[in-house]
Amino acid sequence: MPEAPFGVLAVYPTAQALLDAIPGIKARGFSNLEAYTPFPVHGLEEALGLKKSRLGTLVFIMAALGAVSAFLFEWWTSVVDYPLVIGGKPLNSWQAFVPVMFEVTVLFATFTAGLAMLFLFNKLPFFGSPILGSKAIRRTTKDRFGLLIMPVEGVLDVEAASAALLETGGSEVEVLAAPDSTPPGLGWWFKTLSGITAACVVTGFGTAWAIKIYPTIPPMVHMEVQPRLDAQKADSFFADGHGMQLPPVGTVARGYMPLLAKSPEEAGKELINPLPVTPAVLQKGRDLFNYHCAVCHDRLGTGKPWLTSAYTAKPANLQASTYRKVPDGYIYYVISEGKGAMPSYAADLSANDRWAIVDYVRALQRSQHAKPEDVQ
């Protein structure tokens, strides 16, 4: 038995003629129909008895999968693989995950819709339907309405189908041969892949060549090109050939006087607090103490704040008699250089800031150990 054709095609003059013809053709036992119209025709889907597309269901499932996998990935990265506390939020902050979940949901949904439509439901790769080679195609994209009868389970009575089309008002009946359905051989794959490779090579070299021939012309260069010596670049201006020179030995940047003392005790002997104790200084000291110090030393300097339970270091109790007796320079040195687990605060606090904190620590100590005459 010869292979069944792709189908038998006829054209109808109007959309209504097409709609009217379909029931008659169905009554003759042809159920696998397809219509080709220049614009959407209402009621055609129902008349042809097209099944509801499964694309929506697939998209819904994939979208849900996208939401779930985005959540799992975010949870894994921020709770399991690389836990970082950000802004004091819990590691598993679902609120922060939602925007990404939303984006991934949309991504999965659109990719599924596009790719599933092309590859699963439209059966790509497929190099052109036989309908594109028909005579009717010129008119069905303009002012005629085509109807195609396709084989059911590989069987189609061409004679009966042609008769059915003609009897229901169709004209220009043509039989479309089935497309070549043999899978492409080795030669086809070779030709296709080498064609793609050749295209890439030609484009790549062409681009590189074009850039060489036609150099890019920057619109303005006066920011980029300046008469100056760049760091890390060679330059003949100085004898040693370096663009950037080291400062002379012993240079001190303004406002960055280094500590000469080698220990807190030494600093306590040498350094004198330059700041007078005024309300403004104490106010500044209080603000800075509460920003930088209180998190470990507590707002009263007792060393028993809310963070001590989280780690094992024991911040100094500034109210202890040892620290009430040490000179100002001692505290200044510790703030500048750090002590034990405490890091240096020299980068965050200027010399005056540190002295203001020292003054405030003194005020705190006095406030907790006030003598009767302080109240008078």
Partner 1 sequence: MSSGSGTTIRSLLLLSAVGFVGAAATYFVEGPARFWANWLVWMVFGIAVGLGCLFIVALEHQVQSVWSVPLRRVPERLSSLALWVTPLVLAALLCLPVLYPWARPEGASVPAIVLKSAWLNTPFFIIRTVACVALWFVAYRLVVKRSFEQDRSRDPMITVCLRRHAPLVLAIFALTLTTVAFDWISSLEPVWYSDIFGVYLFAGTFLSGLAATTLGTLYLYNRGRLPGVTEDHLYNLGGFLFAFTVFWGYIAFAQYMLMWYGDMPEEVFWFKQRTTGGWLALALILGIGHFFVPFLALVSRKAKISPKRLRWVSLWILAFMLVDLYWLIFPAVGAKVRLGWPELSFALLFLPLGLLAARAAMAKGEDTPVGDPFLQEGLEFRL
The residue ranges that bind partner 1 (CB under 8 A) are 42, 56, 60, 87-89, 95-96, 98-99
Q: Which residue has the tokens 């303005």?
A: 220
Residue closer to partner 1, measured from CB, 32 or 93? 93
Residue (110 or 308) nearer to partner 1, CB: 110
Q: How far is the CB of 321 from partner 1 (least distance, A)?
A: 38
What would the two tokens of residue 161 be? 């189908």
Nearest residue to 14 (alpha-carbon basis) of 132, 146, 167, 136:
146
Q: Minimum Å distance from CB 95 to partner 1?
A: 5
Q: What is the DSSP letter of 148?
A: E
Q: In the complex with partner 1, which residue's Cβ is closer, 87 or 125?
A: 87
Helix (H, G, I), strand (E, B) or coil at 174: strand
Q: Give the integer Cα–Cα distance in Å for 231 and 199.
A: 43
Rounded to a whole number of angstroms, the minimum distance from the CB of residue 93 to partner 1 is 8
Q: How far is the CB of 94 from partner 1 (least distance, A)?
A: 10
CB atoms within 10 A of CB 198: 10
- What is the closest distance, in whole angstroms, from the C-beta atom of residue 63 to partner 1 in the complex? 10
Which residue number, 107 or 137, has a Cβ lying nearer to partner 1? 107
Distances (CA, A) of 208 to 198, 204, 296: 15, 6, 60
- Judged by beta carbon, residue 98 or residue 175, the one nearer partner 1 is 98
Residue (27 or 91) nearer to partner 1, CB: 91
Q: Report the residue number, 109 or 173, with the smaller CB distance to partner 1.
A: 109
User: Cα–Cα distance between 303 and 306 in angstroms, integer?
Assistant: 10
Our CB check for partner 1 shows the closer of 47 and 161 to be: 47
- The full DSSP string for 318-367 is TTSHHHHHS-HHHHHHHHHH-BTTBPP-TTTS-HHHHHHHHHHHHHHHHH
Distances (CA, A) of 264 to 60, 327, 330, 355: 68, 9, 5, 14
Answer for the pair 357, 335: CB distance below 8 angstroms, yes or no: yes
The Cα–Cα gap between 343 and 360 comes to 20
C-beta of 74: minimal distance to partner 1 in Å? 14
Q: Closest separation between CB of residue 55 and partner 1, Å? A: 11
> What does the block give as tokens for 135?
């005579």
Question: Nearest approach, Cβ of 46 to partner 1 (angstroms)?
Answer: 12
